[in-house]
Chains A and B, each alone.
Chain A
Amino acid sequence: ETGVTQSPTHLIKTRGQQVTLRCSSQSGHNTVSWYQQALGQGPQFIFQYYREEENGRGNFPPRFSGLQFPNYSSELNVNALELDDSALYLCASSPPQGYNEQFFGPGTRLTVL
């Protein structure tokens, strides 16, 4: 059984640029959530996708957007990058039933210069 995978592993961008991060959910999981983790802090919820629609959003501006595809994989897009967007971006997938258990990928480390 393949776990959650994310790409790329690392990314360096400059202020104002746009970035797309990708996530493949664990086999059998139909829900994908995205989190931002700044250095030394716990992850912060960005949004969740279920059945290709956004199903809950945290306190992040509209320049953070996402997509989910029919195979349950997902993308996180960030426009007009700011220095504070530098963080580890984590994707987590959840099975159809359960207690909202979420299984995380290794993350994408984004650095904005």
Chain B
Amino acid sequence: TQLLEQSPQFLSIQEGENLTVYCNSSSVFSSLQWYRQEPGEGPVLLVTVVTGGEVKKLKRLTFQFGDARKDSSLHITAAQPGDTGLYLCAGARTGGTSYGKLTFGQGTILTVHP
């Protein structure tokens, strides 16, 4: 059972275009993290969002956590070839057997062409 659904699975765009990646769940998360992963390497943490409705910006990347803390989005403005990679969202829940476990989406493979 995939608790976190990411869309789209693949995204191929030209340099300069904008894009949005979505991460949806029927479960509530105490926090949600976005990672970027390059081939053969581990995921690199981009941001953690904690509060419902929270918006965080990291240069050209804007992250939003849904009001109900069940969904999130990543928006990239004026994409560059260096943004190419696998983008992963991961949710964390506190308490019980879920504590400490990050549930990942299946990822979005982004390719930005020069």
Contacts and interface: CB of A to CB of B under 8 A. Distances in A.
Interface string B73-114: 000000000000000101010100111111111110000000
B33 A102 contact: yes
Nearest to A94: B100
B36 to A, nearest CB: 11
A92 B42 CA distance: 9
A49 B70 CA distance: 27
Interface in A92-107: 92, 94, 98-107
Interface stretch (B13-21, B44-52, B56-64): B44-52
B44 A104 contact: yes
Interface string A19-33: 000000000000101
Interface residues of B, number: 29
A45 B102 contact: yes
B113 to A, nearest CB: 21
Closest 5 CB pairs of A and B: A42-B104, A104-B42, A100-B92, A48-B100, A99-B31
Name the prevailing secondary structure of the A interface residues: strand
Contacts of A18: none
Sorting the interface of chain A by its residue count into under 10, 10 to 19, 20 to 34 or 35 or more gives 20 to 34
Contacts of B30: 99-100
Given A92-B102, A94-B100, A100-B99, 18 more contacts: A4-B42, A43-B90, A43-B104, A45-B101, A55-B100, A56-B98, A56-B99, A56-B100, A90-B42, A98-B48, A99-B50, A100-B30, A100-B31, A100-B94, A102-B33, A104-B35, A106-B41, A107-B42
